[in-house]
């Protein structure tokens, strides 16, 4: 878990982080043109959870270490998501009319 935490702490200054973020969002937006946005959202969240689990398991190295770390990892990822979601909601609240065009 230490590798994951350190990487995420440094992400704010990392050009690769922001480039990948933009690519993931771009892909989701592209998929939303031909799929229900709720399905795209659910798929995106599911894929993220699956990849997070792979990351945790691969860093643990053994099944025993994975089982010992999974609760801490779950708390960490849920907290990180809550922080990001809270920040984005505040941004949208402040700029709602700019981001969401109403008729």
Task: Kindly report, residue by residue over 27-57, the tens digit of the pLDDT.
Answer: 999 999 999 999 999 999 999 999 999 999 9
Q: Which tens digit of pLDDT belongs to each residue from 52-71?
A: 999 999 999 999 999 999 99
**89 inside domain:** yes
**21 inside domain:** yes
Please, what's the largest Cα pairwise distance for the chain?
A: 55
CA dihedral 100, 36, 17, 85 (to 10 degrees): 60
Q: For residue 55, what pLDDT is reported?
A: 96
- Report the distance separating Cα 20 and Cα 32, nearest Å: 18
**6 inside domain:** no
Domain that holds residue 84: 14-99
**62 inside domain:** yes
**85 inside domain:** yes
pTM (predicted TM-score): 0.78
Residue 15 CA to chain centroid, in angstroms? 17
The CATH number for 87's domain is 1.10.287.3020
Question: Does 76 score more than 90 pLDDT?
Answer: yes
Number of structural domains the chain divides into: 1
The encoded tokens of residue 32 equal: 């939303």
Q: For residue 63, what pLDDT is reported?
A: 97
**2 inside domain:** no
């Amino acid at each position: 878990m230490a590798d994951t935490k350190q990487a995420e702490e440094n992400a704010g200054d990392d050009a690769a982080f922001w480039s990948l973020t933009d690519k993931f969002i771009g892909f989701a937006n592209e998929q939303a043109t031909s799929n229900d946005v709720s399905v795209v959202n659910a798929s995106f969240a599911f894929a993220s959870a699956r990849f997070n689990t792979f990351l945790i398991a691969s860093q643990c190295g053994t099944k025993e270490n994975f089982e010992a770390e999974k609760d801490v990892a779950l708390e960490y990822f849920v907290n990180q998501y809550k922080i990001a979601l809270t920040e984005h909601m505040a941004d949208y609240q402040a700029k709602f009319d700019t981001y969401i065009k109403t008729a």
